[in-house]
Amino acid sequence: MAISEEFLSQLRDRTDIEDLLSSYMSLKRRGKNLVGLCPFHSEKTPSFTVYPENGSFYCFGCGAGGDVITFVRRMENLDYVEAVKFLAQRAGLRMPEDGFDDTLSKRRQRILAANREAAKFFHAQLLRPENREALAYFTENRRLSMQTVRHFGLGYAPNRWDALLRHMQSLGFSQSELADANLVWRSSKNENHFFDAFRNRVMIPIIDIRGNVIAFGGRVLDDSKPKYINTSDTLVYKKSREVFALNFAKNSGERRLILCEGYMDVIALHQADFPFAVAGCGTALTQEQARLLSRYADEVILSYDADEAGQKALQKAIGIFSAIGMKVKVLKLSGGKDPDEILRKYGRERFAALLDGAANDIEYRILAEREKVDLTTDDGKVRFLKAVSEYLAQLENPIEVDVYTSRLADELSVDKTALSSQIEQTRYRLKKQRKRTQMDELTKSLTPQRDALNPEMTRHYRAAKAEEAILTLLMNNNDFIPAVQDGLREDSFVTSFHRHVFARMMLCWRESGVLDIPHLSAYFDPEEFGRVTRIFMNRASYANTLDECRECIRTLDEEREKSRETTPELGDDDSFLKSFQSMKEKKQ
């Protein structure tokens, strides 16, 4: 049995979707609905729409959709029950004592509890006299104070195969629970044998924005490889979504963040009173991490290593942040390879000066292009200005373009009109390229593609479209269900995804007596529910009559029989509608 419908109804009444989503993203009213840039994929033109009338949302760009529970599941990386608890706490409601299956939620809570106890164990080990070498790594090599060590909960994993395992078992944790948390690993030679994942490493706990220990990074004390071992993805940790030290940085009072490459850079910056420093988890910045940062800051200052790998990562990060509309600045490190080294060599004042002199992304790109050529030659000037025009042509603010154009024309003694003309030619070329790309995407969208959720769609297109029409009509016209349920069963559906959706819809109907977006959210995962939301919203394509629904069922029956006799052909929306209309005319 799911969470009672009475409680969920009360929760929906107490949760205003506009208020909730506005705490995560910027929304603008468009008629009775609201629109904004989708938080689930990068875009410059808003395709994310909120429908306060029925408490739902849908992105026409990536297909994400659902209700407030689905939104929280996606944004906070929670399962269904945890998302309900999150919203209940926000609304000041007490969760019911029982009546719902929270097995997955309990597994997640056990992982969090295990991580919390493991962090305590590692920290205690760091302070033991026999592990003074590990403590010296932090206090002497890295010059961290004991206050910083305690603030970040730094620790040490002993150089033994089962030190953590034995300790955690004494606290009542099973081997399988510890394996779920990625704290122990299973032996490849004996599946019943487990051993500690972290051994002889200084430990850095990774804490989420709610204060939960969700993962660890373990670093060797010398230069051996691998330098770091990190927790793999678990039920509570997805490295592509998490940002180290954001739990502290979000409370710094700043609307800017310094994004570094490594944990130790961040820790050193916090100790030096730059509490708005963070680092991405994983090897490269992701769109999910960037969108998370945009919830807490308007500007990000990129502080990447000066080596080739760092500069490549920097270029990628600029593109990601620019795509979501965040202001970007780039820190040019001088005097050290990373912030930690600069702070240890020259102190806080030097880094503060570098921070004040950080260039915006355009200035950084201009400086980078300047370093590639010899500006004392005519050929160097031409190549430099041609490269810079690519960046300036992408700026939307004409005043900003004019400022940079004037400055470059003066510096290089070239005619401003000629430079402006070059920029306009580049802008025209880029515009044509964008149009070609849009046409390619449109053509691709109109061509039947392999559907990850419903891979049978291309092989049984007409049947799948009839199924989709039936689902749309039943969702929006619940009174049709009693009239058609005798002739419509799960095995009436040709494609397994639509069969799955129909089965869940009927379960919802039997348990709550209602089929709509809020009532359906408990029966699907977020990806599935995005498709269900799209199907629900497609009612404008139909007349919404009972006869139409019955006609679609007959079409489905005919296509199902046909699919048993012949090889199904690919189709498109127009051919389905024409075929459907032809069948209706023949029966009239």
Yes or no: say if 215 and 234 are a contact pair by the CB < 8 Å rule: yes
- For residue 530, what are its two tokens? 């995005």
User: Rounded to whole angstroms, how far apart are CA atoms 12 and 8?
Assistant: 6
- From residue 501, alpha-carbon distances to 369, 463, 493, 507, 547 in Å are 54, 15, 10, 10, 22
Q: pLDDT band at 574, cuts 50/70/90?
A: low
Q: How crowded is the C-beta side of 166, counted as CA atoms within 13 Å?
A: 6
Residue 447, pLDDT > 80, answer no
Signed CA dihedral, 491, 494, 500, 504: sign only: negative
- From residue 11, alpha-carbon distances to 38, 88, 122, 217, 460 in Å are 24, 6, 40, 38, 40
- From residue 202, alpha-carbon distances to 142, 220, 221, 278, 280 in Å are 12, 7, 7, 19, 19
User: Rounded to whole angstroms, how far apart are CA atoms 68 and 521?
Assistant: 9
Q: What is the pLDDT of residue 578?
A: 54
Which amino acid does the sequence have at 174?
Answer: S
Task: Determine the longest span between alpha carbons in the chain, in angstroms.
Answer: 91
User: Rounded to whole angstroms, how far apart are CA atoms 332 and 304?
Assistant: 9
First to last CA, the chain: 46
- From residue 588, alpha-carbon distances to 246, 322, 547, 551 in Å are 65, 57, 12, 11
CA-based R_g, the chain, Å: 29
Question: What average pLDDT does range 181-203 have in this prediction?
Answer: 93
pTM: 0.73
Paired residues of 29 in beta bridges: 34
Residue 419, pLDDT > 70, answer yes
Yes or no: say if 39 and 23 are a contact pair by the CB < 8 Å rule: no
Task: Please state the three-class secondary structure of 94-148 as a single string.
Answer: CCCCCCCCCHHHHHHHHHHHHHHHHHHHHHHHHCCHHHHHHHHHHHHHCCCCHHH
Signed CA dihedral, 479, 485, 487, 488: sign only: positive
193-207, 317-331, 464-478: which has the minimum mean pLDDT? Answer: 317-331
Instruction: Tell me the residue ranges of DSSP E strands in 208-349.
Output: 213-219, 228-230, 243-244, 256-260, 277-280, 299-303, 327-330
Yes or no: say if 268 and 340 are a contact pair by the CB < 8 Å rule: yes
Tens of pLDDT, residue by residue over 226-241, are 999 999 999 999 999 9
Question: What average pLDDT does range 259-285 have in this prediction?
Answer: 94
Question: Between 585 and 144, whose confidence is greater?
Answer: 144
Q: What is the pLDDT of residue 579?
A: 54
Q: pLDDT band at 360, cuts 50/70/90?
A: confident
- For residue 420, what are its two tokens? 């402006």
- From residue 287, alpha-carbon distances to 100, 318, 545 in Å are 34, 11, 43
The total number of residues written for the chain in this structure: 588
- For residue 226, what are its two tokens? 């691998």
User: Rounded to whole angstroms, how far apart are CA atoms 480 and 532?
Assistant: 18
The C-alpha angle 210, 216, 218, rounded to 5 degrees, equals: 155
Q: What is the pLDDT of residue 128?
A: 97
Q: What is the pLDDT of residue 405?
A: 92
Q: Which range among 77-91, 153-167, 283-297, 559-573 has the greatest average pLDDT? A: 153-167
User: Rounded to whole angstroms, how far apart are CA atoms 83 and 16?
Assistant: 15
Residue 370, pLDDT > 90, answer no
Q: Across all residues in the chain, what is the average pLDDT?
A: 88
User: Rounded to whole angstroms, how far apart are CA atoms 97 and 115?
Assistant: 26
Judged by phi (left if over 0) then psi (alpha if -120 to 50, else beta), residue 234 lies in beta
83-87, 187-191, 340-344, 525-529: which has the minimum mean pLDDT? Answer: 187-191
* Alpha helices for 171-323 (secondary structure H): 175-180, 246-249, 263-271, 287-294, 308-323
User: Rounded to whole angstroms, how far apart are CA atoms 328 and 361?
Assistant: 6
Question: What average pLDDT does range 461-485 have in this prediction?
Answer: 93
What is the strand order of the sheet 56-59 is part of? 28-30, 33-36, 48-51, 56-59, 65-66
Question: What average pLDDT does range 215-234 have in this prediction?
Answer: 93
Place of tokens 């509490």: 275
Of the chain, the percentage scoring pLDDT greater than 90 comes to 57
Q: What is the pLDDT of residue 229?
A: 95
Q: pLDDT band at 573, cuts 50/70/90?
A: low
